[in-house]
Copies of this chain bind each other. A is one copy, B any other.
């Protein structure tokens, strides 16, 4: 029976990486077998690596590579596809619940905020390795709050204007065009114009499509 756990780190900040290595060396069961500063080369290097890590610590905010962004999210996607047995533990400075949910949904097995103490890191690594998951209360809460939410599509931000988004939100609150016009001190015709544009831009047949679009893109919340 092998007691050691092979650990890898993908982290761009050298200082933090060194700190993490120091923490890992405290416990004999951990063996660091892989480290990398960016997501792009990680997959390449892993193929050439003699030992595949059991647990990979991945920094969420990796630097962009040239034009393309390649964050911890992308790494998680790539790793969980290439190495289904590898357990992925996200390290992040963000406590944003959307981030947490997103990562978990894309294959991460655990999420740690970077201010955790070493003991929790140890616990988390062991937990993902043995149980396949490490979720603490904070993370659980994020998952609870975010079920039903998805992150807004990138293209959306440029497609839909501020005013259109405003009107879309009011539509989703079950206001009629007339009521929206009153609220915004504009003509009903204008509101209808915006709605027509929204239908066209979102490719919807009717308000139903607009509501679905708004929810998918997190323009409104499903409270």
Contact = CB atoms under 8 A, between A and B. Distances in A.
A146 interface: yes
Interface stretch (A15-23, A29-37, A39-47, A128-136): A128-136
7 contacts: A132-B137, A132-B140, A133-B136, A133-B137, A150-B222, A174-B209, A222-B222
A216 B211 contact: no
Interface stretch (A52-60, A65-73, A101-109, A183-191): A101-109
A143 interface: yes
A25 interface: no
A140 B174 contact: no
Interface in A164-188: 171-174, 176
A173 B139 CA distance: 33
A161 interface: no
B140 A135 contact: yes
Interface string A94-115: 0000000100110101000000
A180 to B, nearest CB: 12
A102 to B, nearest CB: 10
Those 4 A-B pairs whose CB atoms lie nearest each other, nearest first: A132-B137, A133-B140, A135-B135, A174-B205
Contacts of A147: 101, 104-105, 143, 146-150
Given A109-B140, A131-B137, A132-B137, 9 more contacts: A104-B143, A104-B147, A107-B144, A133-B137, A148-B222, A176-B206, A207-B207, A208-B211, A212-B222
